[in-house]
Structure 1
């Protein structure tokens, strides 16, 4: 057992480490494996680092034509996000795109696998695809994006923002844990061409589809978090 595998087990836990190994083996084949954790984070009403990162400017991006050259996502994916009603914020440092994040209300169809995430509460939103340029990840870009997003969400009466995190991304898991995110569930999908099989911790629990039109829906109700006596944090990744 080499040191790299031991570190993976430490970061992810045994269960997710094994699935991560399978996913890596499958990278050169038509078979794909994705595993996600679903989390919710309470929306803040005030910025946590007021005055920090004044060189970063955050602006809304509302149409595809406003997407700058060099944006690291395919145009067809971005067009589909806007078609679904997606909103985006872009952070700039001078003329450089420093990072961005996306959010939307009601429901969101996943980019990577066939699944639709539905939000039962009007006081919730879905955030996704938070990106910061690699050379700026130790700076204030991430904090400034979240600060602006929380201001906008709070103004619309949103109390919780939900998202999915790859179970194979320990840095993101730790980052969300530091922000106080609580876990809502998990799902694992295996795809081969048009065929897809999904296992999830909430209804429908198990779903098999053979065409692009067969899309499972996972429903999340953040209103239940308002009265929950104890919420599971992200401190213990790797559980099935």
Structure 2
């Protein structure tokens, strides 16, 4: 147990380790009724320069999937969630290596509705930013060019739309994802917290507005405004 705590401390630091331990304890004590979420909001510049040379990875193809593409059924996500993403303006890009599904990446422009808590991330000013999420590469392809090719395609699409930055939210304890985004040039832009007790949700942040929002309606998805210059800059 002590070894696990030390490892968590090394990976997360003191503050996030305390939050992680508190969250785990409260989940058990309240039988999963009280949940604490902390997300880092990251931002990275969109690049017009491909990272994979045109002579490399010729056996990898990137396609944008329509909402009725049969490839969607191979993804480890409920069909209803995937269709909800399309209804909210989601764009899905899939990688195929030698015609076999190898990974995917999703983009939304200007706005994204969270599927883990009740929140809509609204990117401002309109038309200048995108939101990436659910970036996934099949385990056997994680040391190939699949990840890089997916991002090259995403960057190409965003460049064509005049997008300057792409944002994402990452669970504070997901060290691997934070490091992957960092290698792409991403930086932590701010943080937002959610405390959920049954149908009651408290959202708060010192970086993005509204700084504090209480909601009790399960159908309510309050907006969180991600601006070019957050309040801490």
Residue segments in structure 1 that go unaligned for 5+ positions in a row: 226-230, 233-240
1:84 aligns with 2:84: no
1:103 aligns with 2:107: yes
Equivalences for residues 150-169 of structure 1 within 5 A: 150-169=155-174
Alpha-carbon distance in 1 for matches of 2:3, 2:56: 38
Alignment correspondent of 1:172 = 177
SS at match of 1:68: helix
Alpha-carbon distance in 1 for matches of 2:200, 2:98: 45
Alpha-carbon distance in 1 for matches of 2:70, 2:91: 12
SS at match of 1:168: coil
8 A Cα contact 1:132 1:142, kept in partner: yes
1:3-34 per-position Cα deviation (integer Å, ceiling 9, x unaligned): 22111111111111122223333165232222
1:53-92 per-position Cα deviation (integer Å, ceiling 9, x unaligned): 3222110012244443321111111111100111010011
Alpha-carbon distance in 1 for matches of 2:94, 2:59: 14
Alignment correspondent of 1:48 = 51
Compute the displacement of 1:123 (Å): 1.5
Alpha-carbon distance in 1 for matches of 2:93, 2:161: 16
Alignment correspondent of 2:217 = 211
CA RMSD of the aligned region, Å? 2.0
8 A Cα contact 1:204 1:216, kept in partner: no
8 A Cα contact 2:73 2:79, kept in partner: no
SS at match of 1:139: coil
SS at match of 2:192: strand
1:112-142 per-position Cα deviation (integer Å, ceiling 9, x unaligned): 0001100112121111111111232222211
SS at match of 1:21: helix
Alpha-carbon distance in 1 for matches of 2:225, 2:52: 33
Distance 1:64 1:209, change over 3 A: farther
Query: Normalization by structure 2: what TM-score?
Result: 0.89
Compute the displacement of 1:198 (Å): 1.6
1:31 aligns with 2:37: no
Which runs of 4 or more aligned residues in structure 1 lie more than 6 Å from their structure 2 counterparts after TM superposition? none
Alpha-carbon distance in 2 for matches of 1:69, 1:144: 22
Compute the displacement of 1:170 (Å): 0.5
8 A Cα contact 1:36 1:165, kept in partner: yes
Query: Normalization by structure 1: what TM-score?
Result: 0.87
